[in-house]
Amino acid sequence: MRFESKSAPALAVAGLLTAALIALSGCASDSGSSSDPETTPTATLDVVEQGFDSLDELSDYVAQSLDGVEVSLESETNPDFNQETEPERLHVHFASTEDKVKDLEATAFIVQATSRAGFDYDILVVTGVVSAGEWAYLYDRSTVEELTAGGQIDVADIWDSAEQSFDTIHR
């Protein structure tokens, strides 16, 4: 008696479909491929019109678009803060995905929102928290105002406009 499997053609088709899906999804090994995304950031963002009179209002606004948002003033979180000698730093942390384009857009979004802060701060510190550590860009309040003066902010140039940066993730 001869045994014939009726599932052999189905297995062959499933194997071909799997190979096709792997090739289409980009999971196939390609030594020439780059890990950088092929997309470009949004050209500009419109500056939000509403003002933010408190940290909670700013935090709620930013949290609508970004995950893991924490907003704080240095004077409220650092017990050693000296108001007479140190600048007031506004810290905005969020959960970064390590995607350079998304992080550029998130930074521009935060800068445009903080330009409408009705409370005092001297330096904006935007920090992306990732599994490998964190990256940060620091902006003087005057720089934030200059970047948003025309009602729009250029996304691609946002990191180049920072007074200081600490970023080993995207470089």
Summarised one tens digit per residue, pLDDT across range 88-134 is 999 999 999 889 999 999 999 999 999 999 999 999 999 999 988 89
Closest CA to 91 of 126, 130, 52: 126
Residue at 134 is within a domain: yes
Residue at 12 is within a domain: no
Closest CA to 91 of 116, 55, 143, 63: 55
Q: Which residue has the higher pLDDT, 158 or 15?
A: 158
CA 125 to chain centre: 13
Residue 19 sits at φ, ψ, to 5 deg, of: -60, -40
The pTM score is 0.76
Residue at 33 is within a domain: no
Domains held by the chain: number:
1
Residue at 171 is within a domain: no
Residue at 25 is within a domain: no
| Mean residue pLDDT across the chain | 83
Tell me how far apart the alpha carbons of residues 134 and 122 are, in angstroms, rounded to a whole number.
22
58, 110 contact by CB (below 8 A):
no
| Domain boundaries, position 159 | 44-166
